């Protein structure tokens, strides 16, 4: 393992490699500090290619050891990166569009990545109970991975989540706790509980390790592009952890010489009904003012984003932006992606595609620019979002009835 300590992102104070997440001196967030001095780029690439068919192929860049990794039962990763020519055509852009379909993970969202890393670290630290504060997808991932690994789980979510996400959590048999309040209230409760219970809260006291799992999306993207970088990424933002850690993944590989070139332009995507980071971006502010969420994109409904300031920094330093789209645009985004790529995404993916569309319509995507859009969750988790535009041709079981229903349509 190439990691042995944590470091404050603000004041660089070093901390032991334990279940701590904020700096006692300045309250800044802690992150994993690596010693990559032993890494040779050619050898690192060879080790990756000879590795597993999932995120553990990148184990040299993650904060968990081989033994704990061996105890993880669901390995996420190596999800498809597909060219989206049809989508580019519909958007009228000459950019080279790619879609990273990260719904193709064990519980159908990118959260399986962060959970696998956090639970591996929890096992190393001797925890027997795994917990989290979730907007839905993390709940699915924690409940499934904990059960598969023989660990207990307590999953805290806002009680008014989509029914599909609740069902897809409860099915794994952990303890599902619906809190009467929004995600920010759930998160506060879990922060309090983390002081009292001997539990690994993956996104509270294990947050420094958890976040590292998202770097694997950057590594995979570069590897799948033939060890090359995209020019731009479009990525949804809730707490800002995914967005900033994809950035960290690219930066690490550039510094270590595994890939050449510049960090891509980072375009962030939020729902207008919960857009603290997009609002701060628009107003030129360095920190976010908390908002009360009201959007169909419940998985992105974090009003007080922990990594908001770092997401702003990443967008600005790469010449990108953080954009917000309304609920109708989100619904259209879901349809547009489905019709052009055959990928049915949940509301978070609708947000990403709607922002991609906005950038294309504003003429911000240049011809030949290689753009990767991150689709982070599956449409079957939020089917109600598009129920208003749902249509079916109902007929009698007779050819006449069929001909009548389709008279004058298409090839008939």
Ligand X SMILES: Cc1ncc(COP(=O)(O)O)c(C=O)c1O
10 or 228: CB nearest Zn ion = 10
Please choose which of ligand X, Zn ion, none residue 171 contacts, taking the beta carbon within 5 to 8 angstroms, the exact cut-off set by kind: none
Please choose which of ligand X, Zn ion, none residue 187 contacts, taking the beta carbon within 5 to 8 angstroms, the exact cut-off set by kind: none
Please choose which of ligand X, Zn ion, none residue 48 contacts, taking the beta carbon within 5 to 8 angstroms, the exact cut-off set by kind: none
Please choose which of Zn ion, ligand X, none residue 237 contacts, taking the beta carbon within 5 to 8 angstroms, the exact cut-off set by kind: ligand X
Closest CA to 133 of 184, 98, 91: 184
- Provide the pairing of β-strand 96-101 with 81-83: antiparallel
Task: Say whether residue 26 binds Zn ion (CB under 5 A).
Answer: yes
247 or 377: CB nearest ligand X = 377
Classify 337 as helix, strand or coil. helix
- 238 forms bridges with which residues in the sheet? none
> What's the N-to-C CA distance of the chain in angstroms?
63
Site size for Zn ion (CB under 5 A): 8
Task: Say whether residue 15 binds Zn ion (CB under 5 A).
Answer: no
Please choose which of ligand X, Zn ion, none residue 281 contacts, taking the beta carbon within 5 to 8 angstroms, the exact cut-off set by kind: none
Q: Report in angstroms how near the CB of residue 114 gets to ligand X at its nearest.
A: 8
Using the contact rule CB under 5 A, the part of the chain among 9-17, 75-83, 156-164, 402-410 near Zn ion is: 9-17
In the chain, how many H helices and how many E strands?
15, 13
Please choose which of Zn ion, ligand X, none residue 26 contacts, taking the beta carbon within 5 to 8 angstroms, the exact cut-off set by kind: Zn ion
Task: Say whether residue 83 binds Zn ion (CB under 5 A).
Answer: no
Please choose which of ligand X, Zn ion, none residue 2 contacts, taking the beta carbon within 5 to 8 angstroms, the exact cut-off set by kind: none
235 or 306: CB nearest Zn ion = 306
For 4, 162, 309, 330, the CA distances from 185, given in Å and listed in that order, are 33, 18, 20, 25
Q: Report in angstroms how near the CB of residue 14 gets to Zn ion at its nearest.
A: 10
Q: Please tell me the distance from the alpha carbon of residue 328 to that of residue 110, in angstroms, as a whole number.
A: 24
Taking CB under 5 A as the rule, which mask of x and - marks residues 27-56 in contact with Zn ion? -x----------------------------
Q: Report in angstroms how near the CB of residue 348 gets to ligand X at its nearest.
A: 4
- Provide the pairing of β-strand 81-83 with 30-34: unpaired
317 burial level (CB within 10 Å; 0-12, 13-18, 19+):
exposed
Q: Site residues (CB under 6 A) for ligand X?
A: 109, 135, 137-138, 236-243, 299-300, 346, 348, 376-377
44 or 155: CB nearest ligand X = 155
Task: Say whether residue 23 binds Zn ion (CB under 5 A).
Answer: yes
Q: Report in angstroms how near the CB of residue 164 gets to ligand X at its nearest.
A: 13
Q: Report in angstroms how near the CB of residue 92 gets to ligand X at its nearest.
A: 26
Q: Report in angstroms how near the CB of residue 28 gets to Zn ion at its nearest.
A: 4
- 129 forms bridges with which residues in the sheet? 152
200 or 258: CB nearest ligand X = 200
Q: Report in angstroms how near the CB of residue 96 gets to ligand X at its nearest.
A: 23
- Provide the pairing of β-strand 175-179 with 152-158: parallel
Element containing residue 152 per DSSP (H, E): strand 152-158
Please choose which of Zn ion, ligand X, none residue 28 contacts, taking the beta carbon within 5 to 8 angstroms, the exact cut-off set by kind: Zn ion
For 71, 133, 210, 239, the CA distances from 32, given in Å and listed in that order, are 21, 21, 10, 18
Buried b (16+ CB within 10 A) or exposed e, 21-32: bbbeeeeebbbb
Please choose which of ligand X, Zn ion, none residue 71 contacts, taking the beta carbon within 5 to 8 angstroms, the exact cut-off set by kind: none
Closest CA to 169 of 196, 191, 193, 139: 139
Task: Say whether residue 14 binds Zn ion (CB under 5 A).
Answer: no
Q: What angle separates helix 215-224 from helix 241-256, to the nearest 10 degrees?
A: 50
Q: Which of 2, 5, 10, 189 binds Zn ion (CB under 5 A)?
A: 10
35 burial level (CB within 10 Å; 0-12, 13-18, 19+):
exposed
Which residues sit at the interface with Zn ion, rule CB under 5 A? 8, 10-11, 13, 23, 25-26, 28
């Amino acid at each position: 393992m190439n990691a042995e300590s944590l470091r404050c992102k603000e004041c660089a104070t070093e901390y032991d490699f334990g279940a701590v997440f904020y700096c006692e001196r300045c309250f800044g967030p802690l992150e994993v500090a690596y010693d990559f001095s032993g890494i040779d780029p050619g050898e690192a690439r060879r080790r990756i290619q000879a590795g597993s068919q999932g995120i553990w192929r990148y184990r040299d860049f993650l904060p968990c050891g081989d033994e704990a990794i061996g105890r993880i039962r669901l390995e996420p990763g190596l999800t498809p990166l597909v060219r989206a020519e049809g989508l580019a055509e519909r958007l009228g852009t000459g950019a080279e569009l790619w879609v990273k379909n990260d719904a193709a993970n064990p519980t159908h969202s990118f959260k399986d990545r962060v959970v696998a890393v956090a639970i591996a670290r929890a096992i190393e630290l001797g925890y027997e109970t795994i917990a989290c504060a979730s907007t839905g997808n993390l709940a699915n991932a924690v409940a499934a991975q904990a059960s598969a690994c023989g660990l207990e789980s307590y999953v805290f979510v806002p009680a008014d989540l989509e029914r599909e996400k609740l069902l897809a959590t409860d099915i794994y048999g952990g303890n599902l706790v619906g809190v009467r309040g929004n995600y920010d209230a759930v998160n506060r409760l879990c922060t309090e509980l983390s002081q009292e219970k001997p539990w690994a809260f993956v996104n509270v006291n294990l947050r420094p390790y958890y976040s590292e799992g998202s770097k694997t999306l950057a590594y995979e993207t570069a590897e799948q592009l033939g060890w090359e970088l995209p020019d731009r990424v479009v990525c949804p933002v809730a707490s800002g952890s995914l967005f900033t850690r994809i950035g960290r993944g690219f930066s690490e590989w550039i510094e270590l010489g595994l890939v050449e070139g510049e960090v891509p332009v980072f375009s962030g995507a939020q729902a207008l009904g919960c857009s603290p980071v997009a609002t701060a971006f628009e107003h030129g502010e360095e920190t976010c003012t908390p908002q009360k969420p009201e959007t169909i994109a419940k998985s992105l409904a974090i009003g007080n984003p922990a990594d908001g300031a770092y997401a702003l920094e990443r967008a600005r330093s790469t010449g990108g932006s953080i954009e917000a789209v309304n609920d109708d645009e989100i619904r259209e985004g879901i349809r547009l992606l489905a019709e052009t790529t055959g990928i049915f995404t949940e509301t978070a993916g609708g947000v990403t595609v709607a922002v991609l569309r906005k950038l294309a319509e504003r003429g911000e995507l240049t011809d030949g620019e290689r753009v990767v859009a991150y689709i982070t969750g599956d449409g079957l988790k939020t089917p109600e979002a598009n129920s208003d535009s749902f249509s079916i041709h109902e007929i009698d079981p007779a050819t006449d009835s069929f001909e009548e229903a389709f008279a004058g349509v298409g090839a008939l």
